[in-house]
Structure 1
Amino acid sequence: MEKNDHHPSEMSGSFSKNGNKNDDDPETLEAKSAGCQQQHAENEQAETVEVSPPSDPEPSLEQILNEVDRFLETTTINAGEDKLKLPDQAPDCVELLSNMVENMVNAYNAGKTNFGGDQDDSFLKAVNRISKLSKRFNELPSSSTLSSSLNRTSAALHRVMSFLEDKFRILLHEESKAINNQEHDRCLLHEPEPDKDEEELAEFSPETISDINKIASAMIFAGYENECSMVYSIARRTAFKAVLNKLGYEYISIDDVQRMQWESLEGEIASWINAVKQCSKKLFSDERKLCDSIFSDYPPLSRILFGDLAHPVVIQLLDFAQAVVLTKRSAEKLFKFLDINETLRDLVLAMDSDSYAEELISEASEAKTLLGSAVVSIFCDLENSIKSDQGRTPVPSGAVHPLTRYVMNYLKYACEYKDTLEQVFRQHLKIEKDEKETCDGGELDDVPTSETSPFSLELMKVMDLLDANLDMKSSLYRDHALRYIFLMNNGRYILQKMKGSTEIHELMGDTWRRKRSSLLRQYHKNYRRETWSKVLQCLSDEGLQVSGQGKVSKPVLKERFKNFNTLFEDIHKMQSTWVVSDEQLQSELRVSISAVMIPAYRSFLGRFKQYLDPGRQSEKYIKYQPEDIETLIEELFDGNPTSMARRRT
């Protein structure tokens, strides 16, 4: 029972028929009439001036409410008989209250009074009493003599509730209209629109929330919970949908998703991700706060209404994600799938059990798991792509193979999602373990810890497959030197990509990197041996001395210079067309070659040049000076054939 505005004792001498004085009571009227006749005679005798009796003032709302409260108190259920103790006729305050409430509604509707002012509290107090009277009268048997009072209060209550329902609906839409007007004004003033990523539901002022809260409480107390809930749900669903649309998200059926080209679907995925992120970070939490504020007196109802709003939105968002998963899988979809998975992860984290049904949280988690499995499947298809690349045509000039570029760039971008990939691979391994134990009762090893990340193991497996594939492709080159150039090019490309990606470096580790660097150095040594060992043999003094005479054999010396020139020119002609795209590797190779060739050639030339006759014979066999050799070495690995200009001494 609500606390009365005034104690019933303050109402002595009022208009009630419940034991209090009232000018309309028959006995009072009779006594009053007799008294008036005697007074009239006395007045005539005294020849006094006649005065009119004072009229009774209209009862105030507070008096009416107090009288209603007293009536409700005296009509409580008798605990022993379990029956209502009611008079045969309702007091006048019932009719007066009904009339007064309807007059207030008329004043609101006519614009004489604005809802949201000081008079609202009085109005809502009156509505509260009408609700209590209606409930009390509804407990009466159909044959009760108070049925007419029931009809009167029911009619008044229905009219009041219709008014409050309309006002409830208007207030719920009020802020949205204000926001729209602000956007219209912004367009007229050419002001920039707010960032779509900062879109939000209409923010209600504290005064508006207070008014809506009062109306909701009044309607629910009066038994109009269903009507109140329906108006609120429709208004907020409309508002929520409008915000999602402004974020660029609109519902797309599963069939439409299946028919869309991937390029178009990528745009829809971007809008979906933005919408879900906004829901996770702000929109749902704001909506829950609004619902709690409006239905602060009814927390269970607030939870139900928020759930009724959030459930279809979340299901619609999950349907889209699951529809994308059902599209044909391909390598280029991995990154969008990872984006969707991360978005669902954030959504699941934002869904606490106090605000969302466990079933809904479970569905979101299942959708995330489904996305994770799709991610694992797509990533593991990279293994098949490497295995199936069995082309028998070597890459010209020993350059980096397209497969190497594709795999390393793929891994570089994939490893930017390192944490997510570790999560999905770990979850996938756990699912496989559970399925294995369920199927045959066997047990797998424990799921790897973070130190032995299943994604790291998968990454190493991919790298091993790539190495094996490149080794096979290197064998396609007939020239062994070019084979090592190819392996160096690809090995350096892999190493540089690893150095440029902190994530790959963390996953593969320093041991793997050192092993890769050591392998590159071995390729370098092998190249130098295959290419320049025969040239260096020409610069050896072995076999130049005439046996037993201590003299240099000119024919042999001439043949040595001739062979050197031929070998060097052939190497230059061929290897200047080879490609070493990494500038550091190119420089390392040239420096390494010069370090071996220049000292050897300078020494050989310095020791044996004198044995050739000056003039044409010398020019014929000594075609290059050490500086020329150095210049020609600097032309190697540019990918452009260079003509060999004749160098003169």
Structure 2
Amino acid sequence: MDGTFDREHHLIAAAHHLAKALESTTDLNHDTKWLLSDLSAHLSRAIELGKAHRAHNSSTAEIEARLMSAAQTITRLHSNHPKIWDAGHTTISEYLKAVAEVQRLTLSLEDMDLPKTSRELLDRAQNTLHSAMARLEDELAHALIRSKQGFLEHTEYEDSLVSNEDDSVRTGRFSSSESDVGYETDLVHPDSIPHIKSIAGLMFGSGYGREFCWVFTGFWRNVLAEHVAATLGFEQLSIEDVLRMEWELMNSRIRKWRAAVRGIIGTHLVAMKRLFDLVLGKYGDPITSSACLVEASRAPVMRLLNFGLAVSIGPHRPEWLFCLLDMYETLTGLQPEIDALFPDETGPSIRADFHDLLMRLGDSAMAIYRELENHISLCSSTTPLASGGVHPITKYVMNYVTFFVDYGETLERLFRAQDAGPGPNIPDHLRSLTSALEANLNWKSNLYNDRPLKHVFMMNNIHYMVRKVRESPVEQQFGDEWVKAHIGKFRHHATCYERETWGPVLDLLRDDRRVGKSGQKGMCRAFAAAFEGVYKRQTRWWVPDLQLREELKIKATKMVIHAYRDFLGRAGSSVCEKHVKYSEHELGTYILDLLEGSPKSI
């Protein structure tokens, strides 16, 4: 076919040369010259078309040869290496060059005005490119698995339990891991970045950018979801699950949630964005990288936010206050990261849900804060503590009080956010809470029929309030006047306890000179019975503070032994020998058993 074309081309060229020669003669008439000129022009165009056809044939032949060579390289490497990225740098480089060659040839053929007879070459090029792209998808997934570096487990958190049963209150503040937000970590080994970027370049350049993003985002979505599940340590919970959960378990899961949120958003999503920008930043429109990040992180992040939402919707019980404030503070600290990770044009739903949860947590905390005083006032119980010890509500309230100073700035921020004025006066609020507590304790003390026990109860609880204030930074909020006044209050109740306990007993030892020996015998018996009654009742009573308990025992010992010694000195020896039941030493020993919370009898 090419030989025939060449012969025709030579004939046309000879005819064109003859026409030009005849056209140059002078003895031809005008019409003949015009016909020769027109013929020469047609022959010239035919020659140019012939040259173009020859050039086209030469170009497609070269492309076909190059395509065959590249396709053979790709097929050979596909067959010889189950995973090309495991075969070493030389093989990887050879494969990438071959795929890049097919990509260039395909683009060249697509730009050419091919006749139908040459369409088969374009089909072959496109099929080879498609096969290479499918293999690159697998190689990309494998390269990510092979080069992925584990998420760094570095977050440490402390308990955040406000207990009404345990004096050792545990805080909800994060320890040294506060600085972990923004901690830079690499999600893949740095050496693998050039290979991943080269795959991205080939796939985007070949029109397979969507497929690259699908594999890339899907991989990181699964990795992030697995990490969220592992960090939380529990399955996804519904709102109903949260509402039914016991407080201790809920508190534990909130602590894990806070650790997970800080690690995922503050560290790992930041690292993901850095990787996505590095690999995808130059492809497509400006938001390609951000859009892929949203797609990879949406489900895992929403799992975190949904747990927080369930907690914020839950019942607004007082024991939830500081956990809610801790959650609020955690999210507040992550606002810059969220706004940078998910700008308006790519991540409105994630960012909006984050800020909505932040607002809900703040609203829930403020609702509890405002109702806390009423809750204390309305916390009534018709069953008094048999021991007269520190009431759970006292521990409960004072544990809250000692924490409030740590959350002053957060509460101020919440008040401003809700347009509720400049914020609460923390000292006034704390004193208001303790006043409500005292009123409640006074009401509870009236449940005791035994007046000395009533004073033991009030003494214990006010002493506990003073001790908690003096042992914490909140003392500055209460001031010296409050402390002095309440020291006076519990000492007043201690004095009333001593007077009402030992006054009636020691009165039995007075005026013995007027009654004679027979009366003194009766006084001995009455005193012994009264002392035994005190012993039986007050060994079950409980003064938890060791120093206060010892002070009461020392004063009781001095008071009782002094009065008893005076009585024995006034009584005759015959009375003492026959009718005195206890020696001074025995009375002192028995007094040591009082207020220990361990029932005994003589």
TM-score, reference length from structure 1: 0.65
**Residues 1:118 and 2:94 are matched in the alignment:** no
Q: How far apart, in 2, do the equivalents of 1:475 and 1:265 lie?
A: 36
Q: Any idea what SS the aligned residue of 1:580 has?
A: coil
Task: Find the counterpart in structure 2 of residue 577 from structure 1.
Answer: 537
Whether the aligned pair in 2 keeps the contact of 1:325 and 1:371 (CA below 8 Å) is yes
Structure 2 CA distance for aligned equivalents of residues 593 and 268 of structure 1: 50
1:99 to 68, 74, 77: 68
Aligned partners of 1:203 and 1:93: how far apart in 2? 44
Matches within 5 A, 1:204-215: 204-215=188-199
Secondary structure (helix, strand or coil) at the match of 1:486 reads helix
Alpha-carbon distance between aligned partners in 2 of 1:114 and 1:636, rounded to the nearest angstrom:
84
Matching residue within 323, 345, 353 for 1:363: 353
- Partner residue of 2:555 out of 579, 582, 592: 592
1:312 and 2:299 aligned: yes
Give the match for residue 497 of structure 2: 527
- Please name the residue that 1:283 is paired with: 268
Q: For 1:246 and 1:316, locate their aligned partners in 2 and report how far apart those are by CA, in whole Å.
A: 13
Going from structure 1 to structure 2, the CA distance change for 1:598 and 1:211 (only over 3 Å counts) comes to: same
Partner in structure 2 of residue 428 of structure 1: 414
1:641 is displaced (CA, Å) by 6.7
Map of 2:462 onto structure 1: 491
Show CA shifts across 1:112-132 (max 9, x none): 794553365566456556555
Q: Give me the whole-angstrom Cα distance separating, in 2, the residues matched to 1:574 and 1:513.
A: 32
8 A contact 2:460–2:543 mirrored in 1:
yes
Amino acid at match of 1:637: L
Q: Could you tell me which of 389, 400, 403 is aligned with 1:400?
A: 389
- Correspondence list, 1:585-624, <5 A: 585-603=548-566, 605-606=568-569, 608-609=570-571, 612=572, 614-615=573-574, 617=575, 619=577
Contact 1:257/1:265, CA 8 A, preserved across alignment: no
1:88-137 Cα shifts (integer Å, max 9, x gaps): 65424433333333233222222279455336556645655655565566
Once the two structures are superposed, the pairs formed by residues 453-602 of structure 1 within 5 Å of their partners are 453=426, 457-498=428-469, 502=472, 508=478, 511-533=481-503, 555=515, 563=523, 566=526, 569-574=529-534, 576-578=536-538, 579-582=541-544, 583-602=546-565
Letter in 1 for 2:416: K
Q: Distance in 1 between matches of 2:450 and 2:252?
A: 49
Contact 1:580 1:637 in 2 (8 A): yes
Q: Secondary structure at the match of 1:396?
A: coil
Matches within 5 A, 1:125-144: 127-128=99-100, 131=103, 144=113
Q: Which residue of 1 aligns with 2:23?
A: none
Deviations 1:401-434 (A, max 9, x none): 6xx2244146537856864x44553343224435
Aligned to 1:437: none
CA contact under 8 A between 1:375 and 1:424: conserved in structure 2? no
8 Å CA contact 1:257–1:324 kept in 2: the answer is no
The number of residues matched between the two structures is 513
Is the partner of 2:314 in helix, strand or coil? coil
* TM-aligned CA distance change 1:559 to 1:326, over 3 Å: same
- For 1:110 and 1:642, the matched residues in 2 are separated by 90
Displacement, 1:386?
3.0
Q: Residues 5-84 of structure 1 correspond to what in structure 2 (within 5 A)?
A: none
Q: Which has a greater percent of helix?
A: 2
Contact 1:165/1:228 (<8 A) preserved: no
Residue number among 77, 92, 100 corresponding to 1:108 in the alignment: 77
Residue matched to 2:173: none
1:74 is aligned to: none
Q: Is the 8 A contact 1:171 1:208 kept in 2?
A: no
Q: Which digits, 9 at most, give the CA deviation of each residue in 1:326-351, with x for residues without a partner?
A: 33444555565456445544544543
CA 1:210 to 1:432, structure 2 compared with 1: closer, same or farther past 3 Å? closer
Is 1:253–1:320's contact at 8 Å kept on the other side of the alignment?
yes
Inter-partner Cα distance in structure 1 for 2:600 and 2:269: 69
Distance in 2 separating the partners of 1:177 and 1:256:
41
Match of 1:636 in 2: 594
Contact kept? 1:576, 1:640, Cα under 8 Å = no
Contact 1:376 1:424 in 2 (8 A): no
- Distance between the aligned counterparts of 2:450 and 2:217, measured in 1? 77
Kindly provide the CA deviation profile for residues 291-338 of structure 1, in whole angstroms up to 9, marking residues without a partner as x. 234336447533332232123322232123212333344455556545
Q: For 1:355 and 1:265, locate their aligned partners in 2 and report how far apart those are by CA, in whole Å.
A: 30
Query: Judging changes above 3 Å, is the alpha-carbon distance between structure 1 residues 457 and 318 closer, same or farther for their aligned structure 2 residues?
Result: farther
Q: Do the aligned partners of 1:273 and 1:340 also contact (CA within 8 Å) in 2? A: yes
Change over 3 Å in CA distance of 1:104–1:460 after alignment to 2:
farther
The TM-score with structure 2 as length reference comes to: 0.69
Mapped contact 1:98–1:156 kept (Cα < 8 A): yes
SS across alignment from 2:80: coil
Q: 1:107 to 1:410 in 2, by over 3 A?
A: farther
Distance, in Å, in 2 between the alignment partners of 1:318 and 1:605 is: 78
Q: What is the one-letter code of the residue matched to 1:520?
A: F
In structure 2, the residue matched to 1:447 is 423
| Cα displacement (A) at 1:468 | 0.6
Q: CA deviation at 1:163?
A: 1.0
Q: Say if 2:309 is the partner of 1:322.
A: yes
State the shift of 1:219 in Å. 1.8
Question: 1:587, 1:305 → 2: CA distance?
Answer: 70
Distance of 1:590 and 1:265 partners within structure 2 = 43
Residue 292 of structure 1 is matched in structure 2 by 277
| CA-to-aligned-CA distance 1:238-282 (integer Å, 9 cap, x gap) | 333333344466773646646855488777656655543431354
Conservation of the 8 A alpha-carbon contact between 2:415 and 2:423: yes
Q: Do 2:509 and 2:563's aligned partners in 1 also have CA atoms closer than 8 Å?
A: yes
Question: Identical aligned pairs, as a percentage?
Answer: 22
- Tell whether the 8 Å contact from 1:392 to 1:476 is kept in structure 2 after alignment: yes
Q: Deviations over 1:429-486 (max 9, x none)?
A: 224435xxxxxxxxx4x225xxx44xx6544333222211111222333443332122
- My pick for the range that moved more, 253-262 or 514-523, is 253-262
Equivalent pair of 2:394/2:465 in contact (CA under 8 Å): no
- The unaligned stretches of length 5 or more in structure 2 are 11-50, 157-183
Question: Any unmatched runs of 5+ in structure 1?
Answer: 1-24, 31-85, 183-193, 435-443, 545-552, 645-649
Pairwise CA distance, 1:558: 7.1
- Per-residue CA distance 1:533-560 (angstroms, 9 max, x = gap): 456666678xx9xxxxxxxx65479757
C-alpha change, 1:256 and 1:166, in structure 2 (3 Å) is: farther
The answer for the alignment partner of 1:373 in structure 2 is 363
Distance in 2, Cα, partners of 1:509 & 1:630: 40
- Any conservation in 2 of the 1:345–1:368 contact (CA below 8 Å)? yes
C-alpha spacing 1:467/1:556, structure 2 compared with 1 (3 Å): farther
Q: Note the C-alpha offset of 1:166.
A: 2.4
> Residue 118 of structure 1: SS of its match in structure 2?
helix
Give the Cα separation in 1 of the matches to 2:138 and 2:401: 50
RMSD across aligned C-alpha pairs, in angstroms?
A: 4.6
Whole-angstrom distance in 1 between the partners of 2:474 and 2:482: 11
**CA shift for structure 1 position 371:** 1.9
Between the aligned partners of 1:642 and 1:120, the Cα distance in structure 2 is: 87
